Amino acid sequence: MADTKILIVVKDAEAGQAYANALCEIGVAYDIASSFNEMSCMAIENAYNGLVIDILTLVRSSKEEKIIAYECINLFPVLRVKWENKKKKINLSPLEQSFSPDTESAIKFFVESRCRPFAARSLRRHGRKNLNLNVLFCPSGTFTAKKAVETFTVSISLGGVFLYTPQVFEQGHRVSLRFLELSDPAPIAATVRWSHEWGESRSIPGVGLKFDRLTEAQEREIKRILNR
């Protein structure tokens, strides 16, 4: 599994070492981030196949960091774990326990079945904002108002959007969309970067889109939206 790399997010050093040891035992490469801000920076510079998130680090993080955390949970395979200091033992979240009460088996299953098939990914360099904008969405590369589906953004950046949809798309698929809030009504062509199927996990079903091109007016308005 040398081609698989996991990012561990944990503040406590002892817990971090325990999680690292567990990954080492199954031959998986890893990096460790002590906060979700650090995780965001590391995931911009590096590509990862999945995240191991310490539950206490998530619970005790700031509101701003939680926004970063949950956005990344929508982007990567995630295993939530907790270090039990008294027993020196890794515990699983209730969700993972329902699949396997054995921690070692659960970690190995997570890596082999979810991380290895997942194409390593890095985060965008553009700043992203959690914001709901009304969108007319066409699953094809040609915008047709009659065939457009009414939906909304979960988050947006200057480079693209996370759009709510229960429909699944292949990476590289071309689509088109139009924002009702933008004064420039020109349809925007976009390319699918990733897709989350409904019921696949506790994340929001939807599709991550990269804008192929924005008009100058659209770029100005999106910048203004992001700076509000």
Q: Is the dihedral of CA 152, 69, 36, 99 positive or negative?
A: negative
Model confidence at 62, pLDDT cuts 50, 70, 90, reads confident
Q: Looking at the structure, do residues 168 and 221 belong to the same domain, yes or no?
A: yes
Instruction: With H, G, I as helix, E, B as strand and everything else as coil, classify residue 179.
Output: strand
Owning domain of residue 199: 128-226
CA distance 65 to 163: 21
CATH number of residue 144's parent domain? 2.40.10.220
Name the domain count of the chain: 2
Q: Looking at the structure, do residues 16 and 109 belong to the same domain, yes or no?
A: yes
Position 98 scores a pLDDT of: 57
The predicted-structure confidence for 158-194, as pLDDT tens digits, reads as follows: 888 889 998 888 878 999 999 999 999 899 999 987 7
Domain assignment of residue 120, yes or no: no
Domain assignment of residue 122, yes or no: no
What percentage of the chain carries pLDDT values higher than 70? 92
Q: Looking at the structure, do residues 169 and 110 belong to the same domain, yes or no?
A: no
Residue 199 CB burial class (10 angstroms; 0-12, 13-18, ≥19): exposed
Tell me phi and psi for residue 10, to 5 degrees: -160, 140
Tell me phi and psi for residue 48, to 5 degrees: -130, 155
